C-alpha cells in the first residue's frame, strides 16, 4: 500500500492563490503605490529623473512559468515589503536602503567563472540569461535576525551555472564574490568590513536542486536592493549566505571564509543551516517574525526544506552546521 506523507512545505492546490489573480493584484498594488513611493523619493518622479533606477534590458523575459514543485504553506509577502525591507550593507546598515541602492548600475554586468575550471571565462549577464531557462519558484526566506518572508523568485538552477563553468574534478567549493565600487556603494568606504562580500557553498550544495540563481522577483527583473542583476538563493540557509549582485564564481578545493564569518566567526559560520534548536549567541532561533502580519511562528528545521537537503549533512556531526 502506498502511503504519502505530507511534507512541511506543501499546501493543497486549492489553497494556493491563482497565478492570474496574484498578477492582477500585484499590478493593482503597484499602481496604487507608485504615486506615494515616487513622491517619497528625493529627485524621483513618475516622469523620471536622474535618480530613477536603470531600466533592465531583460524585462521581456518576465514573468516566467512557475514551477509548482516548490510550494509553501504561507501567504506570499507583499511585494512592497519584500522590496523595501532589506539588508544590503554595501549601501548602509539599516533596513531602509532601497533608495540608496538605486545607484547600483546593473549594465554592463559581467560574471567571471574562474579557479579550478576547464577554461576561465567572462560572461555578460544578458548572454548568460540567453543560455539558461528561467522559472519562478516560491520559497521561504529566513534571516538570521529571525524575520522571515515568502517570495516568488525567478531564476535558474545553480547546477546549470556549474555546467557552464565546467569545474575540474578536484573542485570542492564555489567561492562567490559581489561587486566592489565604493564610489556608488557608501558602505564599502567603511574599511573595517572585509569588502567585497564573499560567501561559499560546497559543490553538493551548489548543485542541489533548491539552489537558485535569482534574476527576478514578483514576475519582473530583480531590483537593485534585492540583488540585481543576479543573486544566490539557498532557502534552507540563513539569509546572510545568499549574497547579492554577484560578479565572480571561483571553483576551489579550499573552503571559503565568508564576509560575516570573517567578522564574527563565533556567530556566523560557513554552513548557516536553519535550526530552531540552535540559538544565535545573542537571541533564540526557535521562532521567526513574518513580515506583513508581524506575527511570530515556529521556525522549522532547514527552514522546512529538510526533505531536499538533510542528506547532504549526514555524518557531519563534528561541523557547526547551524551557525
Beta carbons of 198 and 242 less than 8 angstroms apart = no
What is the C-alpha separation between 3 and 5, in angstroms, rounded? 6
Give per-residue pLDDT as tens, 202-255: 999 999 999 999 999 999 999 999 999 999 999 999 999 999 999 999 999 999
Task: Decide if 169 contacts 253 (C-beta within 8 A).
Answer: no
213: left (phi over 0), alpha (psi -120 to 50) or beta: beta
Cα gap 156→136, rounded to integer Å: 8
Using CA of residue 88, residue 92, residue 95, residue 99, what is the dihedral sign?
negative
pLDDT at 323: 86
Q: Output the pTM of the full model.
A: 0.85
pLDDT at 44: 41
Long-range CB pairs of 281-285 (<8 Å, 24+ gap) are 283/146, 284/146, 285/144, 285/146
Instruction: State the cell numbers at 110.
Output: 559581467
Closest CA to 151 of 303, 309, 321: 303
Q: Give the span between the Cα atoms of 142 and 148, in whole angstroms.
A: 5
* Pairing state between β 173-178 and 246-252: antiparallel
Tell me the pLDDT of the chain (323 aa) as tens digits. Answer: 444 454 544 444 444 444 444 445 454 444 444 444 333 343 343 333 335 667 899 999 999 999 999 989 999 999 999 999 999 999 999 999 999 999 999 999 999 999 999 999 999 999 999 999 999 999 999 999 999 999 999 999 999 999 999 999 999 999 999 999 999 999 999 999 999 999 999 999 999 999 999 999 999 999 999 999 999 999 999 999 999 999 999 999 999 999 999 999 999 999 999 999 999 999 999 999 999 999 999 999 999 999 999 999 999 989 999 98
- Only one residue has cell 506543501, namely 10
216 in Cβ contact with 226 (< 8 Å): no
Q: Environment class of residue 3 by beta-carbon count within 10 Å: exposed (0-12), middle (13-18) or buried (19+)?
A: exposed
Model confidence over 53-86: pLDDT tens digits?
678 999 999 999 999 999 899 999 999 999 999 9
Radius of gyration of the CA atoms of the chain, in A: 19
Q: In 3D, which of 197, 215, 249 has the Cα closest to residue 90?
A: 197
Query: What is the reported pLDDT for 283?
Result: 97
DSSP strands (E only) in the chain: 110-115, 121-124, 135-142, 147-157, 173-178, 198-202, 212-217, 220-221, 231-233, 246-252, 287-290, 296-298
Amino acid at each position: 500500500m502506498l502511503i504519502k506523507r505530507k511534507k512541511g512545505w506543501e499546501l493543497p492546490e486549492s489553497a494556493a492563490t491563482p497565478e492570474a489573480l496574484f498578477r492582477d493584484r500585484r499590478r493593482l498594488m503597484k499602481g496604487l503605490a507608485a504615486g506615494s513611493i515616487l513622491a517619497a523619493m528625493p529627485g524621483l518622479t513618475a516622469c523620471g529623473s536622474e535618480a530613477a533606477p536603470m531600466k533592465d534590458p531583460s524585462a521581456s523575459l518576465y514573468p516566467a512559468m512557475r514551477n509548482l514543485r516548490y510550494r509553501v504553506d504561507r501567504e506570499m509577502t507583499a511585494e512592497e515589503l519584500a522590496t523595501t525591507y532589506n539588508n544590503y550593507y554595501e549601501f548602509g546598515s539599516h533596513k531602509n536602503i532601497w533608495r540608496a541602492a538605486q545607484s547600483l548600475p546593473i549594465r554592463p554586468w559581467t560574471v567571471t567563472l574562474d579557479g579550478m575550471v576547464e577554461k576561465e571565462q567572462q560572461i555578460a549577464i544578458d548572454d548568460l540569461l540567453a543560455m539558461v531557462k528561467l522559472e519562478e519558484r516560491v520559497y521561504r526566506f529566513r534571516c538570521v535576525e529571525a524575520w522571515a518572508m515568502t517570495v516568488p523568485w525567478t531564476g535558474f538552477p545553480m547546477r546549470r551555472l556549474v555546467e557552464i563553468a565546467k569545474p575540474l574534478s578536484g573542485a570542492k567549493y564555489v567561492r562567490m564574490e559581489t561587486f566592489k565600487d565604493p564610489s556608488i556603494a557608501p558602505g564599502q568606504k567603511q574599511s573595517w568590513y572585509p569588502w567585497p562580500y564573499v560567501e561559499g557553498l560546497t559543490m553538493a550544495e551548489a548543485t542541489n536542486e533548491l539552489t537558485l540563481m535569482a534574476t527576478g522577483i514578483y514576475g519582473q527583473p530583480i531590483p537593485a536592493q534585492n540583488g540585481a542583476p543576479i543573486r544566490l538563493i539557498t532557502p534552507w540557509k540563513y539569509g546572510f549566505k545568499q549574497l547579492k549582485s554577484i560578479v565572480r564564481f571561483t571553483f576551489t578545493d579550499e573552503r571559503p571564509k565568508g564576509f560575516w564569518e570573517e567578522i564574527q566567526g563565533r556567530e556566523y559560520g560557513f554552513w548557516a543551516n536553519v535550526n530552531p534548536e540552535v540559538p544565535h549567541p545573542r537571541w533564540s532561533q526557535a521562532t521567526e517574525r513574518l513580515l506583513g502580519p508581524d506575527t511570530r511562528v515556529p521556525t522549522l528545521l532547514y527552514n522546512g526544506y529538510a526533505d531536499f537537503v538533510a542528506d547532504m549533512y549526514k555524518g557531519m556531526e563534528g561541523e557547526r552546521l547551524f551557525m
